[in-house]
Structure 1
Amino acid sequence: DDVRQELLASQVIQQFSQVFKEANLPLWLKENEVLVVSSTSGFIECIQDAISVDSIKKGFPGKTLADIFKVAFADRLFEAKRNFIESCAAYALVTWFLQVKDRHNGNLMMDSSGHVVHIDFGFMLSNSPGGNMAFERSPFKLTREFLDVMDGECSDQYEYFRTLVIRGFLEARRHMERIALPIKMLLSGSRLACFREGAECVLEGLADRFFVRLSEEACIEKIVDLIDTSANNWRTIQYDNYQRIVHGIH
């Protein structure tokens, strides 16, 4: 993978994180450092006190994430679920705006406080696995197991998640130019895989995902549609099944 693409993702995530912090929104993103040495080498900061969701599930065979949360966070379950929700909502927005793909459970980490952390940004913006076959069409990953950690779709926890996604989206929309700046700075003459569709296509697609032409009321309706479409999405289920059968990722 081109480490410069990891650097770009890190820079954009830092922009999102700062926007959320300045607005006092409890949306959590892991800001990690990336040092590029060349197009094929560099250093990526390790995610400390974290393990992949794949490894967690293999360590508790037959158990769901909700079951594992009850065991791992028995004395601080509410806090851990809040951390899970606030990080899931934040990364849902990053995944949507940057069109991050290959979101199997080997590329999702969980830390010792219950936060979800996404890693590996080799597929985003205008490239995806399988030669852009668009296997992952869900706006973001929101599986049944994730929903169950939030106590299901009828719970206050899930309503909190939805509220965070909506508020975070609207705040990011107000700062679209700032968030897009690292992308624009690298676009000219870049051969990064995520720019393979060309500068105009990448920037137009990004602007479209911010729903810049819609009123705030119409934008909120679109955000709700994104959430509803993502919840237990059939294509996400099938992509995870494929990863489990072919690559042994649980």
Structure 2
Amino acid sequence: MADIFQEAGLPLWLRPYEVLVTSSYTALIETIPDTASLHSIKSRFPSITSLRDFFVAKYQENSPSFKIAQRNFVESMAGYSILCYLLQVKDRHNGNLLMDEEGHIIHIDFGFMLSNSPGSVNFESAPFKLTRELLEVMDSDAEGVPSEFFDYFKVLCIQGFLTCRKHAERIILLVEMLLDSGFPCFKGGPRTIQNLRKRFHLSLTEEVLTVVSDGLKQQCVSLVLSLISSSLDAWRTRQYDYYQRVLNGIW
């Protein structure tokens, strides 16, 4: 997906990292330098009660560096939101979300995706994580009040989805090749691939696309906006964060 965004000239930002497999159960995972999890940031600075407070303290509100960090945040949020929706990445608590020095969000730990979830219960039913504190960095709130950066986020999500949709078969093939690997994320069997394909909404043929491309694009825009609306400070997402806070002390 990072390659797809780059090929299309889109500013959606992802941080791929290398994994060197050493056995069926072990691997060496590349370190991502100059980052800290959202949980560790809050633990390190007790006076900071929200991610917005951290941005204000680190980048100085209304300064050029603050605006650059916000833009970096939005571009990475959009990239990972589309990735998390299409691949159904779960276990998105604040210990699995990193922040780099430039303000980018980076997701790690992809042990739950496609068809498996923590505790075998799909508690994180929202398309992707879009909690109040993430929205506040975009000058929005839990209600999704319009702002320059939140509107930019919406535009990027739409562009990212339309672009990934053009390369759906390329993505689906990579996933399908691993269907018989025995990985836990394929516990759903062939339905895992079927559901992945459904999330791309590929109901129209190429012939139809050339005739009604504008209408199709409008349908995709409506779809992505509905995904964002469904994710806005979703109750089940907040409850999963609360569960992690109580059980594992992850803030």
So what's the TM-score if we normalise by structure 1? 0.90
Asked whether the equivalents of residues 158 and 220 of structure 2 are also in contact (C-alpha less than 8 Å), the reply is: no
* 2:54 maps to 1:63: no
- Cα offset for 1:39? 1.4
Aligned to 2:237, the other structure's residue is in SS state helix
Residue 228 of structure 2: aligned partner = 227
CA distance in 2, matches of 1:116, 1:180: 25
Q: Which runs of 5+ in 1 are unaligned?
A: 1-15
1:106 aligns with 95
Does residue 157 in structure 1 map to residue 149 in structure 2? yes
Q: Which AA in structure 1 matches 2:161?
A: F
Instruction: Tell me what 1:4 maps to.
Output: none
CA contact (8 A) 2:87 2:113 kept: yes
Distance 1:123 1:197 in 2: 12
Structure 1 residue 90 displacement after superposition:
0.2
Q: Provide the C-alpha distance between the structure 2 equivalents of 1:179 and 1:78, rounded to a whole number of angstroms.
A: 33
Choose which of 16, 19, 25 in structure 1 pairs with 2:4: 19
Which string of whole-angstrom CA distances, capped at 9 and with x for unpartnered residues, describes residues 111-150 of structure 1? 010000000000000100112x111001000010011000
- Name the counterpart of 2:66: 77
Aligned to 2:108: 119
**Secondary structure, in 3 states, of the residue corresponding to 1:38?**
coil
In the TM superposition, what whole-angstrom CA distance separates every residue of 1:178-222 from its partner, at most 9, and x where no partner exists? Answer: 1223212212x3210011111x20111011111111633222211
Instruction: Say which one has the larger Rg.
Output: 2
Structure 1 partner of 2:117:
128
CA distance in 1, matches of 2:36, 2:24: 27
What CA distance in whole angstroms lies between the structure 2 residues aligned with 1:184 and 1:91? 21
The match for 2:212 is: none
Bigger mean CA offset, 210-219 vs 94-103:
210-219
Query: Structure 1 segments of 4 or more deviating over 6 A?
Result: none
Query: Does residue 1:175 correspond to 2:163, yes or no?
Result: no
1:97 aligned to which of 86, 105, 108: 86
Asked if 1:204 corresponds to 2:194, the answer is yes
Q: Distance in 2 between matches of 1:181 and 1:143?
A: 32
* Unaligned ranges ≥5, structure 2: 205-215
